[in-house]
Chain A
C-alpha cells in the first residue's frame, strides 16, 4: 500500500472521528494544527486506523507518533510486513 493511499484513508478516518466534512492533512500536520484533535480523540483515531488497516500498534509506537507523517509511516511499515 502506498503512502498516498494511506494518507487518503487517514483523512477519511480523521474526518469521521473529528466530525468534519473535510480536512487537509499533510505529513507535518500535528495535533496543534487540527481543531479537535486532542488526547481524547487521538486514541479513537488510532483505534479506527488499526481496525481499518487490520494492524495493531504497541504502546511505545503510539507514544512515538508526533504527527500524521509518523502515523502514516508506522501504518505503512506494518501493512507491508
Chain B
C-alpha cells in the first residue's frame, strides 16, 4: 500500500474522517491503531505479526530493564534484548525468504527506546497500546523517520482536535513531497535504471551523467517520501522528525551526513559513535577514526547484505576521517580564499565524492561497479544523441526545471517557512498556487513507475 496508491488514499480518507469524528484520545488512538494494522496487514499478514511481536518484546524488555535498574542484571538484560532484536533483524535481512517491510526502521526505534531506558534518560511507557502505536504508526512505518520515544510518545498520549491550519499545512507538505517524487525522482528513474541495469551497454558519458544524477534521484525520492510522511503526520496532529536539511549545500562529507537521512545518522551517532568514541577516547584521534569507521560501516551494512553496502559505508567513514585530520588545512584555506570561491568549490567536491561513492549503494555487482569506474570518463561513443540517456527532450526540460524549482524552494524555505507564508496569502493567490502545483504534478509527473527506493531497506 504505497502513499500514492488508491488503497492508501481510501485508507487515509476513512482514517482521517473517523479520527476527527471525536477529539478523544482513546478514540483517536483506536483509529490510528486500526489504520496501522490494516496498512501493515494489507502488505502481508506476516509483516504485521513480526511488527507486533517486536513491539511486545520491546515493551516488556523495557519494563524489565526499568525494574532491574541499578542491579547487576541490568546490562545483561540490555545486551540480551539487543542481541535478540538485532539478531531477528539480521535473520530477516540475510536468511529469510521474506523481508518484513519497515523492520530496519522499527527495530532501530526499539533499540533506541531500550538504550534510553538503560541509560536512565527515559522511563518506559506504561501503556501497551501507546507503545504499540509508537512502533506501528502507519505514516512512518515503511521508511521512517526513525522516531525516538521521547519525541513521539508524548504526542500519542493526547487528543488532537481538528485544526484547519495544521491540516492544510500537512497537505501542502504532501504536495511538495509528491512533486519531488513524481516530477523529479520518477521522471528520471527509468532512464537511470536502464543505465545502471546494463552498465556494459552504456557509453562513458552515459555512465558519468547517471553517476552525477543519481544523488538527485535518490534525494527527491527519499526526501519526497519523508515530506509526505511528515505531511500525513501533521494532518493527524503529529510532528515527525525531519530527515533532510538541504544536504547538497554541505561543504564537507561530515556535514552532509548531518543533513542526509538525519534520523538514521543521528541514531548511529548517539548509539554507536558516541559510546564507541567515549570508550576509545584515550587513543586520541585514533579512537575517533576507529569509531567513525565502525559507525559508517554499520550505516552501510544497515542498507543490505552485499559487500557493496559495507564498502559504501566504509568510503564515507574514510572521507570523514580525512576531513577530520585535515580540518586545520581546510580552515587555513577558508581564511585565505574568497568565500565566493571556497564555498562552491567545497560544495562541488562534496557532491562529487558522494555521487561516486553512491555507485556502491546503487549497483550490487562489484564487477559492474568496477566497470563504471573504469569507463566513466570514456566520453561519447557514437553520437551526442546518446547524452540524453534515451529520455525525450521534453522530459529533460521538465526534469531540469523541476530540479531548479526544488532547490530554489528549499533555499527560500530555509530562510522562512514558505508553506506558512502561502497560508497567509489572499484566497485567490493561495488557490492559484495550489492549482499550479497540482497541474504541474499531473502534467509532468511520471505515474505508476515504481516503489520508493528506501522501501527495500
Contacts and interface: CB of A to CB of B under 8 A. Distances in A.
Contact of A19 (B258, B274, B279, B327): B327
Nearest to B285: A44
Interface residues of A, number: 15
A46 B279 contact: no
Contact of B273 (A39, A46, A59, A62): A39
A39 B266 CA distance: 10
A47 B327 CA distance: 18
Interface residues of B, number: 24
B282 A19 contact: no
Contacts of A39: 269, 273-274, 277
Given A39-B269, A40-B324, A47 B119 contact: no
Given A59-B279, A60-B120, A62-B274, A43 B327 contact: no
Given A40-B288, A44-B288, A47-B284, A59 B254 contact: no
Chain B interface helix/strand/loop/mixed:
helix
A38 B278 CA distance: 14
A63 interface: yes
Contacts of B120: 60
B254 A43 contact: no
B281 A60 contact: no
Given A38-B254, A60-B119, A63-B121, A43 B331 contact: no
Nearest to B277: A43
Interface string B282-293: 101101100010
Contacts of A46: 278, 281
Contact of B275 (A38, A47, A57, A59): A59
A30 B320 CA distance: 23
B328 interface: yes
Contacts of B320: 40
Contact of B274 (A47, A50, A63): A63
Interface centre among B273, B275, B327 (most CB of A within 10 A): B327
B279 A43 contact: no
A67 B457 CA distance: 35
A40 B320 CA distance: 10
A40 B269 CA distance: 10
Given A19-B328, A43-B278, A43-B281, A38 B288 contact: no
A62 B278 contact: yes
A59 B291 CA distance: 15
Contacts of B279: 59
B284 A40 contact: no
Interface centre among A39, A50, A62 (most CB of B within 10 A): A39
B258 A38 contact: yes
Contacts of A50: 281
Contact of A59 (B278, B287, B327): B278
B377 to A, nearest CB: 33
Interface string A39-70: 11001101100100000010110111000000
Contacts of A62: 274, 278
Contacts of B274: 39, 43, 62-63
Interface centre among A40, A46, A60, A62 (most CB of B within 10 A): A40
19 contacts: A19-B328, A19-B331, A39-B269, A39-B273, A39-B274, A40-B254, A40-B288, A40-B292, A40-B324, A43-B277, A43-B278, A43-B281, A43-B287, A44-B284, A47-B284, A57-B278, A59-B279, A60-B120, A63-B274
Given A39-B269, A47-B282, 20 more contacts: A19-B327, A19-B328, A19-B331, A38-B258, A39-B277, A40-B254, A40-B324, A43-B274, A43-B277, A44-B281, A44-B284, A44-B288, A46-B281, A47-B284, A59-B278, A60-B119, A60-B120, A62-B274, A63-B119, A63-B121
